Structure 1
Amino acid sequence: MMFRILAQVTMVAHFLFLVFLVIGGFLAWRWPRVWFAHLAVACWGIVIIAFPLACPLTYLENYFRDRAGQAGLDEGGFIDEYITGVVYPGDQVVTVRWIVVAVIAISWAGVLWRLLRRRRRAGEHDTDGGDDNR
């Protein structure tokens, strides 16, 4: 029973990881330090698509499923098992990947815009030329 629960927890963690991949840049609008974690997640996403690597979370879920006496995930891993064909049609994988890239790019552009705006405001306060002892 414990391994079955651990497999489910791993599945939820994997799903949350993918959610963070998509929306993490927008979270960085509010919490700028989140951007560094989002950069790492986005880089991992690129690596996992570009190279035939197995995701450690997929490996972990398969390990727990095996110990619980359940079948492991398909060869395609988490996304092929739970997302493709459920969240979007199976023949739209490439389109969905490009949409995710666009969403990330938009969120990062927003992070950059907010950073530049914040720096501009800080510069205006530093060079206001007024006497602070009024």
Structure 2
Amino acid sequence: MLYRLLAEATMVAHFAFLGYLALGGFLAWRWPRTIWFHLGAAGWGIVSVVTGAECPLTLAEHWGRVHAGQPGLPPSGFVDHYIEGVVYPEEYSLLVRWTLAVLVLFSYAGYLVLRRR
């Protein structure tokens, strides 16, 4: 039971991280010091997409599910399991990634404009 709770909590944290990755730059418009946290999150997002590095949250969820007697996450990872093919068709992956990048860059541009005032 404890392992399953750990796996579920890790899944929720992973979704929260992805939400923060997409929208956290806009939080810096109101709370400027949070930009540093978002830069770290965005940096990790870029590294994981470009290099294919495994996210520690994916590994933790997989570990928790296996120890709870459930099937672990597939080797393709969290996004492929929960988002691609579920939220949007897999053939739009590149479009979604570019849209996310533009959204983050827009949030940073807005942050810079607000900081210069």
Q: Normalising by structure 1, what TM-score?
A: 0.86
| 2:77 corresponds to | 77
Structure 2 matches for 1:27-42, cutoff 5 A? 27-42=27-42
CA distance in 2 between partners of 1:23 and 1:6 (Å): 25
- Secondary structure (helix, strand or coil) at the match of 1:86 reads coil
Cα distance in 1 for residues equivalent to 2:53 and 2:26: 27
Equivalences, count: 117
**CA offsets per residue over residues 4-49 of structure 1, 9 Å max, x none?**
1110000000000000000000011010111100000000000001
Distance in structure 2 (CA, Å) of the matches to 1:54 and 1:106: 27
Q: Which amino acid aligns with 1:89?
A: P
Matched ranges for 1:64-103 at <5 A = 64-103=64-103
Residue 76 of structure 1 deviates from its aligned partner by 1.3
State the match for 1:113 in structure 2.
113
Look up the SS of the partner of 2:32 in the other structure: coil
Question: SS at the partner of 2:82?
Answer: helix
Deviation string, structure 1 residues 32-83 (Cα, Å, up to 9, x no partner): 1111000000000000011121110000001100110011111111100101
Higher RCO (Cα < 8 Å, 6 or more apart): 2
Task: Please report how far the alpha carbon of residue 87 of structure 1 lies from its aligned counterpart in structure 2 after TM superposition.
Answer: 1.4
Q: Which blocks of at least 5 consecutive residues in structure 2 are unaligned?
A: none
- Which residue is equivalent to 2:52? 52
Amino acid aligned to 2:89? P
Counterpart-to-counterpart distance in 2, 1:108 and 1:92: 24
Give runs of ≥4 in structure 1 deviating > 4 Å. Answer: none
Who is 1:130 aligned against?
Answer: none
Segments of structure 1 that go 5 or more residues without pairing to the other structure are 118-134
* Structure 1 counterpart of 2:105, one-letter code: A
Query: Which deviations, in whole Å up to 9, do the C-alpha atoms of 1:70-109 show, x marking residues without a partner?
Result: 1111111110010111111111000000000000000000
* Amino-acid identity (%): 50
Distance in 2 (CA, whole Å) between partners of 1:56 and 1:5 is 17
SS at match of 1:33: helix
Quick check: which has more Rg, 1 or 2? Answer: 1
